[in-house]
Every structure is written in structure tokens, then in C-alpha cells.
Amino acid sequence: MDAVIRERTLAGPDAGLDLDPAHRPSREQALAAVRTLLAWAGDNPDREGLLDTPQRVVDAYGEWFAGYQGDPAQELSRTFEDVQGYDDMVMLRGIQVQSHCEHHMAPFLGKAWVAYMPTGKVVGLSKLARVVEIFAKRLQTQETMTMQIADAIEDELAAAGVAVLIDAEHQCMSTRGVRHHDVSTITTQFRGVFKTDKTLQRRFLDLTRG
């Protein structure tokens, strides 16, 4: 079952969708849905201040959820083998994370730290940040996103090890429900040598702190 889920996750731009992409509503249907939500909230969608709101919301959704059109495997497909014998950790620190939880569609904001141990080939550093961005710009949980990033890097780069840490604050917790502010959620994934070598894992964690 896990293999099937991973295959769907990395299969391409439509990965992670439970709905057949052919059934994606039209822009006009999306605009109408926003107008319905405005009316349900108790306001008048036809008043001057809200006339252009549906268009702005739909455009914003296009940006916030652009990750459905991204392909992590493609981003990681171009690698470089001339690494002059480099065989140590490659790490990106403090990648901005802007995502939305699948439970309330509320934003969660934070940072990601990503590292891998190359096995003869490396990938452009911007591609790692792009992989984080692709998965972040989808509806999901932070736990799932952390696993997806690790899966993509491990599978596509045949890395000896992968480490991912995400630290984010969820607005579904700070602006509704319990309304606790300044509470961060930390999720991690360690694969390969980062899981088996506790010294290497500790080194990664130390670097995330400083």
C-alpha cells in the first residue's frame, strides 16, 4: 500500500489528487463558489467592496496551490556527477514554507531544513528548494509533506541518506479552536545513513539550530 501511495505522490503534476483532474471545475464555477461562501458568511457578494473578491480569491488559489502542477521528479532529474570526490552532507537551511492544511484550508508558515548524502551525483541547490515549494503548495498535513520531500529526494537522487526537518506555525490552531499563539509544530524524517548513524543525525540537528 505504501508503495502505491509513493508512486502516486511522485507520478507527476496530478499526483496527490483524489479527484480525476478531468473533473476540475471551470474558473466560472470557482468564482461562483466564492460568491456562495461570501453569502454564507453573511455578506452581500454584490456590494462594491466584494465585487472583485471572487476573482482575487481564485487567482490567489492559483498561486497558493500551484504545487499540483509541479513535478518533483522532473525538478530533480538534472544532476551533476563531477563533484571532485565530494562525499559529505549537502544541506539547505531555512527554506521558507508557506502551505495550507487539508483540514481547515488554513495557512501554516515556517521553515524547512533539508540535507542528503550524495552517492556520486548532486543536484542544483535551487532544485531542493523547489521540491519543498511544490509539496508545500498543496493541501495536506505537515507530517505528509515532510515524508513526501524525503521520498522524492531519496528516490530520485538515490541518496545514501536524507534528512528533513520542518518547523511551522499553524493558523488553524492560532486563529480558531484553542487559539494558542506562537506554538510551532516540528516534524522530521531521517532516511538511510541519517537514520542509522546517530552522530550524523545529531550533526544535522545541530546545524538546524545554528
Higher pLDDT, 85 or 34: 34
102 is catalytic: yes
83, 110: one domain: yes
pLDDT > 60? residue 9: no
CATH number at residue 25: 1.10.286.10
101, 185: one domain: yes
60, 87: one domain: no
pLDDT > 60? residue 10: no
pLDDT > 80? residue 100: yes
Cβ contact 59:114 at 8 Å: no
Question: Which amino acid does the sequence have at 35?
Answer: R
101 is catalytic: yes
52, 85: one domain: no
Q: Copy the grid coordinates of residue 128.
A: 531542493
C-alpha to C-alpha distance for 189 and 150, rounded to whole angstroms: 7
- Boundary-marking domain end, from 64, 87, 112: 64
Which of 104, 169, 171, 201 is flagged as catalytic?
A: 104
181 is catalytic: no
pLDDT > 60? residue 118: yes
Which of 75, 101, 133, 154 is flagged as catalytic?
A: 101
User: CB under 8 Å to 23, separation ≥6 — which residues?
Assistant: none
CATH number at residue 180: 3.30.1130.10
Mean pLDDT throughout 188-204? 97
Mean pLDDT throughout 79-92? 83
**Domain around 55:** 2-64
Which of 75, 133, 140, 142 is flagged as catalytic?
A: 142
103 is catalytic: yes
Q: Is residue 69 part of a domain?
A: no
59, 78: one domain: no
Instruction: Note the pLDDT of residue 91.
Output: 96
Number of structural domains (the chain) is: 2
C-alpha to C-alpha distance for 149 and 115, rounded to whole angstroms: 11
Mean pLDDT throughout 17-27? 67
Cβ contact 192:160 at 8 Å: yes
Angle made by CA atoms 185, 145, 70, in degrees to the nearest 5: 140
At residue 21 the predicted structure's pLDDT band, cuts being 50, 70 and 90, is low
Instruction: Note the pLDDT of residue 173.
Output: 72
104 is catalytic: yes
Instruction: Note the pLDDT of residue 127.
Output: 95
